[in-house]
Chains A and B, each alone.
Chain A
């Protein structure tokens, strides 16, 4: 199990090899927000990592480049969650041959749309071509498009090659627009579009160390905060060399945090972290869960995301309130599950939960209750595991392979889940792990496998009392309160956000920096926008280690 303690920290700060080790005390002056009382700790920066765009980044980028009228590709290489995040998976996995094929199909399809659909074509091509090949017009279009798509200026040779491709194709097909489509096809399949290439540059302020360049910072900021490409203003800031400047960077971050696109960024972070994407293919037995429908998963996902938007943006409140909020946002589908009147005929509306009903907070929402349960029943272990691993960053070991993990069937002597899992908590070989998960899950037993409230199971009143690491609770309502006050809750969120921002697996050498951000988050009243800002302007986001020396064979 991982917990952030000073002792462990000291041990972990022994920097592994192959990293850019800083000496304490040689830090360049870093402009801190006024509330900062301490400089960031010196940590070694990890080496750069090549990141493929996730599916949502890829699609958002296409919309940013070509407009909302684009019909987006649907068949793409699946994202893989590694260390609990898709962006981390995209920094470790390789694209399969099928995935490369899908990228080609998607690029051809998009290229055809944007050169034939009148609206899309008008947005892309400002010039009137003179004949089937018009290098000037092609150069104008590609010279504007490619740097946005690749998030950097093109070399003259790179642009010439795309223009030549458009010219040859235009001449072959005797059509300028068809010709241009093959240049668009090529630039959308290029690794400069499909991957985030952030290699760093020498840092003039810290000789011997590296930082991300202005263009790399533009890309890092926009994918972190908006989950899409940089906009024109961010590109202009990169061109002006402002994103390596403390004050100008902070100003850009402040602008980005007030832009509506930051909602997509925050939604995507929590969608990845809580694995809400799995709600689009929720599997429940409709004979057991009478409220099960194709709509319920997507509706539940939206409910949770609206709650997050409420606390982060509308209230700019303490993020921990997400755990205990008595307000939620539901549509007609969820109103039936919650057994309350739908607040609105169409879409989602605000409702206040009745404290007497017992339901509140994130762990009272259908999304997480249904996801962390079986297809035909609840799962006290999975629900507890979600709290431990995702909300508290505590690792639960796998069960031993060679034991029978079954629990007894419900019968007269063991009518409730609490009775049935008693063996897990009494057998010492099971209890060492299940004692971490099951008491939490038992606190949620008033919610069935889909999230409907129930007072009894097999006609016996459910006892949902327990304690969470020393804080006792009587039921799910109380568990929500105990969770809000859990000392690991906030550090875990900060660690997850830090890993998400850097789109790479967490390097334990950076723990001190995460703790420093955690301190700042607490000073700022746990406001997410303050944390986003703090991370985006922080040294962990701007500095990079040396690239490892190329070790592969040069293939010709």
Chain B
């Protein structure tokens, strides 16, 4: 499984050749065609209204009738759940938490549970069919199943929401993870796992709180001059390369432009966001204990920083990866790696059950962090939609029915909050994804390919 067959490269390069992610604020008019290419030859079409419909003159998105933008979050964990212990009883607004969801008690009123949905992509590659089947609505690459064919949902949304902020998206994890955010095949967005490094990146150095004035550091202009030279080099080099390599350099070029844009923004006054303030510096020692990462402590620190990064409009899209697909992390109080246990712990798999409960608790921590920041008349969470999900339901047999799906926040009233929706007909999980994309005010015609294709959202969770 590790080695792709040799012929994969040719096919991958053909895919890359279709994949030219030059998008965003610099070429707004080209986005439509580029997205079409990215999303699999037009199977998913995203209608793009003119930019000015999205943004007012100061570049902030309209939403909730004011200047508060909508945000999207992905909370991901590997190895699924145990469906029998997961599914809540009762439906609609009258429902009771299940054993595995007990950790949601403090946030039950702001979390919607969707159960009974199914990933409709053929279940060929254990874990990876589910990963890309849910997050991209398509199969993984045939010859390298740990790679998707297109972007993951967080990046589909980031291409729309990301242009207005310093960072298109932020990716984090409470311990070493690869993450599951892709711009396309062989183009992953790796998460930051070090809380101190994440703090420094977002709140160190050049961070300014509301009320501070824009300043001009002469070195910023010089950095931009250096970046200009780099961009010229890349643009000239691209002309000498085949399309696949040119597309790879395009990605690089986009990254350089984003740095330059950030430097330019520093010279402006920071936006007047009343909930934004610089969080206190970290002081904890986050070292491993007994060969196990200190996930609760690290997760809490990361979630608080993510929330404040959103409140300060550093980004409007984040991905937070508790663990990866097939992850073998040693969780607190367990006798084996998580993935190992899902296959080899005898029934009823008490340890797997306990790990899932820990994971749900860490999701509640994230929800709580988002809810603890006031925004307008409500909280930051009210302006978010955060999807909690995994690549399978029962990992022992890699089930793709009964997918665990949690949604926190109502995206400024676009989504129902605090309900349980139970599908009795194994509906297409893509419907949930399409609903989430539309909840971000993105005009999307469809989501997914082949049997995972849908033009309908999940209306039961829409308002």
Could you list which residues of chain A lie within 8 angstroms of chain B, going by C-beta atoms?
2, 16, 47-50, 75, 77-78, 80-84, 89, 92-101, 104, 108, 161-162, 165, 168-169, 172-173, 182-183, 185-186, 189-192, 195, 197, 199, 281, 283-288, 292, 374-377, 385, 389, 393, 395-407, 409, 504-508, 547-555
Contacts and interface: CB of A to CB of B under 8 A. Distances in A.
Nearest to A170: B222
A48 B16 CA distance: 15
26 contacts: A82-B144, A83-B3, A84-B3, A89-B186, A94-B252, A96-B251, A97-B258, A169-B222, A172-B221, A173-B218, A283-B337, A284-B291, A287-B290, A375-B291, A376-B330, A395-B3, A398-B145, A406-B343, A406-B344, A407-B344, A409-B344, A505-B8, A551-B242, A551-B246, A555-B235, A555-B250
A294 B328 CA distance: 18
Contacts of B188: 80, 93, 96
B17 interface: yes
B187 A173 contact: no
B233 A191 contact: yes
A98 B226 contact: no
A47 B242 contact: yes
B374 interface: no
B146 to A, nearest CB: 9
B219 interface: yes
B188 to A, nearest CB: 7
Nearest to A179: B222
Nearest to A19: B10
B255 A99 contact: yes
B168 A182 contact: no
B208 interface: no
Given A169-B222, A191-B230, A548-B243, A283 B6 contact: no
Interface in B317-355: 328-330, 335-337, 340, 343-344, 346
B237 to A, nearest CB: 5
Contact of B398 (A78, A101, A402, A406): A402
B99 interface: no
Interface residues of B, number: 89
Which of A94, A189, A195 lies at the interface centre, i.e. has the most chain B CB atoms within 10 A of its CB? A94
Contacts of B248: 50, 93-95
A207 to B, nearest CB: 22
A184 to B, nearest CB: 9
Interface stretch (B118-126, B362-370, B422-430): B118-126
Nearest to B27: A555
A507 B240 contact: no
B292 to A, nearest CB: 8
Main secondary structure of the interface of A (DSSP, over half): loop
Contacts of B335: 285, 288, 376
Most chain A CB within 10 A, of B10, B186, B252, is at: B252
Interface string B252-263: 101110110000
Given A189-B226, A508-B7, 12 more contacts: A93-B187, A165-B229, A172-B222, A186-B225, A186-B229, A283-B328, A286-B290, A406-B343, A507-B9, A547-B241, A548-B242, A550-B239
B343 to A, nearest CB: 5
Interface in B165-200: 167-168, 171, 176, 178, 183-184, 186-190, 192, 197
Contact of A555 (B22, B176, B192): B22
A173 B9 contact: no
B30 interface: yes
Interface in B251-295: 251-252, 254-256, 258-259, 290-291
Interface in B137-174: 144-145, 167-168, 171
Closest 10 CB pairs of A and B: A100-B255, A551-B243, A548-B242, A505-B9, A186-B226, A94-B251, A50-B245, A375-B337, A552-B246, A94-B187
Contacts of A16: 10
B459 interface: no
Contact of B225 (A169, A393, A549): A169
Contacts of A553: 20, 22, 30
A172 B222 CA distance: 9
A173 B222 CA distance: 10
A551 B246 CA distance: 8
Contacts of B189: 96-98
A283 B330 contact: yes
Contacts of B336: 285, 374-377
B249 interface: yes
Contact of B12 (A92, A98, A108, A507): A92
Nearest to B6: A506
B63 interface: no
Contacts of A395: 3, 5
B396 interface: yes
B376 interface: no
B53 interface: no
- Which among B225, B238, B242 has the greatest number of chain A C-beta atoms within 10 A? B242
Nearest to A111: B226
B6 A505 contact: yes
Interface string B14-39: 00110010100001001000000000
A406 B17 CA distance: 41
Given A82-B4, A197-B237, A281-B176, A189 B227 contact: yes
Nearest to B347: A406
